[in-house]
């Protein structure tokens, strides 16, 4: 039997999450998969980060995080910053859950019990942006601020629809976004362009859209950069059609490269979205930290 620390964001997802957790912990105990559980509820930003950072690795066989991409980011950041190698179990309870969906992680009680019983792990890369970390994406420009400008109340009430409604409401200003970028790849190659937006990703899912970054892999030691260049509304519509046909990576309005280190500069004020939370403004240095954390997978 194993010992586990649960780090839970009680404000994530729907109100049914507490009932699910009660049943899950009950099943883990009845099936003799766990004989010791400590539970920690977050109250404010960075609570999950500091709990994961300061938890004594000798006290637990694994850590379970319950929350959305932002809470997962905090726990992963705390574990990587303190070089913890014990596995992380993810129970996604957020609005979009890009990272959990990328790994096909279960959200039902039976699936999570099987996950812990089998105890299979993969060693995943993590992105480091300045002094912060991310599991999924760091983005800037058009629509990148939607995830952290939508209220928690709307996320709970509307789910993913809240993001789409926010984007539609601010469509004119979003479409007028243009950023002058200078991007340095692996201290060598330089890309200078006008862009609508950019994304540096660790997986192929962003904002609920699958395969938006075709070659992303959390175990390749690389980060994937996709830049949507300055273009007209008509060109954006054409780009959307290319995405549906899975050929957007070859569009003339896209720059797509892989690198271990990506520096991004702009003279304009551009605030970065980091796993759905507001990050720091440009400039930023983003690096791939290879095989930084162990994740329980089906």
Task: Decide if domain 2-119 falls under CATH 3.40.50.10330.
Answer: yes
Q: What is the mean pLDDT of residues 74-103?
A: 89
Residue with the larger pLDDT of the pair 182 and 151 = 182
Does pLDDT of 95 surpass 90?
Answer: no
Confidence band, pLDDT 50/70/90 cuts, at residue 187: very high
Does pLDDT of 173 surpass 80?
Answer: no
pTM for the model = 0.83
Does pLDDT of 167 surpass 50?
Answer: no
Mean pLDDT of the chain: 84
Residues of the chain within CATH 3.40.50.10330 domain(s) are 2-119
Return the pLDDT at 239. Answer: 76
Return the pLDDT at 54. Answer: 97
Sequential DSSP letters for the chain:
-EEEEEEE-TTSS-TTHHHHHHHHHHHHHHTTSEEEEEEEE--STTHHHHHHHHS-GGG-SEEEEEE-HHHHHHHHHHHHHTT--S-EEEEE-SSS-HHHHHTT---SHHHHHHHHHH--EEEEEEEEETTEEESSEEEEETTTTHHHHS-HHHHHHHTTHHHHHHHHHTHHHHHT--EEEEEEETTTEEEEEEEEEEEEESSS-BTTBTTSSTT--TTSS-EEEEEEES--HHHHHHHHHHHHTT-GGG-TTEEEEEESEEEEE-SS--EEEETTEEEEESPEEEEEEEEEEEEE--
Residues marked active site are found at 277
Residues of the chain within CATH 2.60.200.40 domain(s) are 132-290
pLDDT in tens, 213-252: 888 899 999 999 999 898 877 877 777 777 666 777 778 8
Return the pLDDT at 146. Answer: 53
Say what percent of the chain tops pLDDT 90.
Answer: 51
Return the pLDDT at 14. Answer: 52
Q: Which two tokens stand for residue 110?
A: 């039976």
Could you please state the CATH topology (level 3) that the domain comprising 132-290 is classified under.
Tumour Suppressor Smad4 (2.60.200)
Q: How far apart are CA 254 and CA 209, in angstroms?
A: 17
pLDDT in tens, 199-217: 999 998 877 677 778 888 9
Confidence band, pLDDT 50/70/90 cuts, at residue 176: low
Does pLDDT of 266 surpass 50?
Answer: yes
Return the pLDDT at 162. Answer: 44
């Amino acid at each position: 039997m194993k010992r586990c620390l649960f780090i839970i964001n009680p404000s994530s997802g729907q109100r049914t999450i507490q009932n699910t957790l009660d049943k899950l912990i009950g099943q883990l105990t009845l099936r003799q998969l766990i004989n010791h559980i400590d539970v920690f509820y977050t109250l404010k930003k960075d609570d999950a980060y500091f709990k994961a950072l300061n938890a004594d690795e000798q006290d637990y066989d694994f850590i379970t995080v319950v929350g959305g991409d932002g809470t997962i980011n905090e726990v992963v950041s705390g574990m990587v910053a303190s070089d913890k190698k014990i596995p992380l179990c993810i129970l996604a309870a957020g609005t979009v859950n890009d990272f959990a969906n990328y790994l096909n992680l279960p959200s039902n009680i039976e699936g999570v019990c099987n996950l812990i019983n089998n105890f299979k792990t993969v060693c995943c890369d993590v992105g480091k942006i300045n002094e912060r970390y991310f599991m999924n994406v760091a983005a800037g420009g058009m629509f990148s601020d939607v995830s952290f400008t939508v209220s928690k109340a709307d996320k709970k009430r509307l789910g993913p629809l809240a993001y789409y409604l926010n984007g539609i409401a601010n469509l004119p200003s979003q479409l007028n976004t243009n950023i002058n970028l200078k991007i340095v790849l692996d201290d060598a190659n330089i890309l200078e362009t006008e862009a609508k937006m950019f994304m540096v990703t660790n997986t192929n899912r962003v904002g609920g859209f699958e395969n938006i970054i075709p070659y992303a892999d959390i175990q390749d030691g690389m980060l994937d950069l996709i830049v949507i260049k300055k273009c007209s509304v008509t060109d954006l519509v054409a780009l959307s059609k290319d995405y549906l046909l899975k050929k957007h990576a070859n569009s003339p309005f896209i720059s797509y490269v892989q690198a271990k280190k990506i520096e991004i500069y702009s003279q304009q004020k551009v605030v970065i979205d980091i796993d759905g939370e507001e990050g720091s403004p440009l400039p930023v240095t983003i690096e791939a930290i290879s095989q930084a954390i162990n994740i329980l997978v089906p």
